[in-house]
C-alpha cells in the first residue's frame, strides 16, 4: 500500500515536470514566442494582438496555471494556430485511434511472441528455436517504417488483400497492427525464451514434476507465472516504444492518430497542437510505466511485503 502511494506520488511529480517541459516548448524557441506563434510575415500589431490573446504577456507561472488548469478542469487544450479549431476534441478522437492501434499492436506481439518464446525455450536448439531466435534478432533490426512499406508492397500492391492507407474498418487495421507490433513481437519472444530457460532450471520446477503435475501445468502455471515477471516489464517498455512507433506507422499508413497529428503540426508549426500532443503522449507513456511497475508487484508476491 505504501508502495502504491509512493509510486503514484512519483508519477505525479514526473507528470508535473513533463507538463512544464511541454508547456515551455514555445518559450524554448529562440526569439519571441508571440512572433513564433504568429509565423513569419505578420505585422508588429498582429504579433502584439496574439501576445495578449494567448496571454503571453503575463508571467510564466500564471500562463502555466491557466494552460494546465483549463486542461485539467475542462479538457480544454486551447485552439489550433492554423485553423482556430479547439484542439481538445480533435485530439480526443485521434488519441482514441492511436490507442486502438497501439493495443492491437501490443496484443498481436504478445499473443504471438509469448507462445513462440515458450516453445523456443522448451525445445531449445531445435529448428523452431533457431528460427524464432533468427527472426527475433532480425525483427528488432528492421525499422518500423520499412516494415510498413514492405507490408504494403506485399499485401496491398501485389496481393491486394488489405488496403494500404486509411482507417475505419478492421481491414485497415491489419497492416498497421503488424507493422507496429513486429519489433515488440521480436523482443517479447526473445525475453520469454530467456526468462523461461532461467525459470525451467529452478528447483521448484523439479518439485512440480516430482508432484506429478501434468507437463502443460508445469510449463504454463509453474514456469510461466514466474517467467512473466521480467516479461511484464518488457511488455511495458515495448508499449512505450509502440507509442513512438505510432508516429511512424501512422504516417506511412495515413492513419488518423495522434502521432500523425503531431508530425503534421510540427511541419505546420502549430505550436499549441504540438504542446497538446506532446503532453498527451508523454502522459500516457508515464502512466503506463507506472501501471507496469504495479503489475510487476502483483506478479511477484516477494516484493509485496518487502
Partner 1 sequence: MEDKNIVLEVEHLKTSFFYGKKEGKAVDDISFKVKKGEILGIVGESGSGKSVTAMSVMKLLGNTKGRVVGGSINFMGRDLLAVSDKEMRQIRGKHIAMVFQEPMTSLNPVLTVGEQIAETIVVHEKVSKKEALARAKELLDTVQIPLAEKRLGEYPHELSGGMRQRVMIAMGLCCNPDLIIADEPTTALDVTIQMQILELFKKLREQYELSIILITHDMGVIAEMTDRVMVMYAGCMAEYGDTATILKNPRHPYTKALMKAIPRLDEKQEYLDAIPGVIPSIFNLPEGCRFHPRCRLATERCRKERPDAFTVDGRTVCCFKAFEEVKESL
Partner 2 sequence: MFKNIIHNKMTVVGFSIVIVIVAIGILSPFIITADPMEMDLYNVAAPASDEHIWGTDELGRDIFSRVISGARTSLVIAIVVVGIGTVLGTLIGAVSGYLGGLTDSLLMKVMDILMAFPTILLALFFVTIFDPGLYSAIIGVGLSSVPRFARLVRGSVMSIKEKEYVEAQRSAGERKISILFRHILPNCIGPIIVQATLTMGNSIITVAGLGFLGLGVDPGVPEWGAMLSDARSYLASKPAICIYPGAAIALAVLGFNLLGDGLRDALDVRQE
Determine the 3-state secondary structure of 306 from DSSP. coil
Among 3, 17, 103, 204, binds partner 2 (CB under 8 A): 17
Give the ranges where the chain is alpha helix by DSSP (H): 2-28, 33-38, 44-53, 60-74, 87-122, 127-141, 144-151, 170-200, 203-210, 215-217, 224-252, 258-268, 271-299, 301-305
Torsional sign, CA 258, 262, 268, 270: positive
Q: Which three cell numbers stand for residue 55?
A: 496571454
Among 168, 206, 254, 287, binds partner 1 (CB under 8 A): 206
Site string for partner 1, 222-251 (x = CB under 8 A): x--xx--x----------------------
Nearer to partner 1 by C-beta: 93 or 209?
A: 209
Sorted by sequence, the CB contacts under 8 Å of residue 91 that are 6+ apart come out as: 77, 258, 261, 273, 276, 277, 280
Neighbouring-strand partners of residue 293: none
156 CA to centre of own chain:
26
**What is the distance between the alpha carbons of residues 107 and 191, in angstroms, rounded to a whole number?**
16
**Could you tell me how many residues of this chain bind partner 1 (CB under 8 A)?**
27
Q: Does 153 bind partner 2 (CB under 8 A)?
A: yes
Q: CA nearest 179: which of 124, 77, 234, 247?
A: 247
Q: Which does 214 bind (CB under 5 to 8 A by kind): partner 1, partner 2, none?
A: partner 1
Nearer to partner 1 by C-beta: 2 or 305?
A: 305
Nearer to partner 2 by C-beta: 124 or 207?
A: 124
Among 208, 219, 258, 284, binds partner 1 (CB under 8 A): 208
Q: Does 41 bind partner 1 (CB under 8 A)?
A: no
CA angle 45, 264, 243 (to 5 degrees): 130
Q: Does 146 bind partner 2 (CB under 8 A)?
A: yes
For partner 1, the binding residues (CB under 8 A) are: 200-215, 217, 221-222, 225-226, 229, 299-302, 305
For partner 2, the binding residues (CB under 8 A) are: 10, 13-15, 17-18, 21, 25, 28-30, 124-125, 130, 137-138, 140-146, 149-150, 152-153, 157, 240-241, 243-244, 247-248, 251-252, 262-263, 266-267, 271, 274, 278, 281-282, 285-286
Amino acid at each position: 500500500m505504501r508502495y502504491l502511494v509512493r509510486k503514484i506520488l512519483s508519477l505525479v511529480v514526473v507528470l508535473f515536470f513533463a507538463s512544464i517541459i511541454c508547456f515551455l516548448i514555445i518559450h524554448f524557441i529562440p526569439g519571441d514566442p508571440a512572433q513564433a506563434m504568429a509565423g513569419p510575415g505578420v505585422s508588429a500589431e498582429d504579433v502584439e494582438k496574439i501576445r495578449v490573446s494567448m496571454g503571453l504577456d503575463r508571467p510564466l507561472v500564471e500562463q502555466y496555471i491557466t494552460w494546465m488548469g483549463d486542461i485539467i478542469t475542462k479538457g480544454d487544450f486551447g485552439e489550433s494556430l492554423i485553423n482556430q479549431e479547439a484542439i481538445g476534441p480533435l485530439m480526443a478522437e485521434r488519441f482514441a485511434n492511436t490507442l486502438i492501434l497501439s493495443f492491437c499492436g501490443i496484443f498481436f506481439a504478445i499473443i504471438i511472441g509469448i507462445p513462440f518464446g515458450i516453445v523456443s525455450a522448451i525445445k531449445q536448439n531445435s529448428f523452431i528455436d533457431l528460427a524464432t531466435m533468427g527472426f527475433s534478432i532480425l525483427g528488432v533490426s528492421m525499422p518500423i517504417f520499412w516494415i510498413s512499406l514492405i507490408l504494403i508492397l506485399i499485401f496491398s500492391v501485389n496481393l491486394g488483400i488489405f488496403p494500404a492507407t486509411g482507417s475505419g474498418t478492421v481491414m485497415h487495421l491489419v497492416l498497421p497492427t503488424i507493422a507496429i507490433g513486429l519489433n515488440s513481437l521480436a523482443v517479447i519472444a526473445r525475453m520469454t525464451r530467456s526468462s523461461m530457460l532461467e525459470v525451467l532450471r529452478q528447483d521448484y520446477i523439479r518439485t512440480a514434476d516430482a508432484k506429478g503435475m501434468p507437463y502443460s501445468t508445469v510449463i504454463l502455471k509453474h514456469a510461466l507465472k514466474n517467467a512473466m515477471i521480467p516479461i511484464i516489464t518488457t511488455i511495458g517498455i515495448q508499449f512505450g516504444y509502440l507509442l513512438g512507433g505510432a508516429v511512424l506507422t501512422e504516417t506511412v499508413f495515413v492513419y488518423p492518430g495522434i502521432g500523425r497529428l503531431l508530425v503534421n503540426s510540427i511541419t505546420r508549426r502549430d505550436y499549441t497542437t504540438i504542446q497538446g500532443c506532446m503532453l498527451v503522449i508523454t502522459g500516457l507513456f508515464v502512466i503506463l510505466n507506472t501501471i507496469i511497475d504495479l503489475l510487476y508487484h502483483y506478479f511477484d508476491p516477494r516484493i509485496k511485503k518487502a
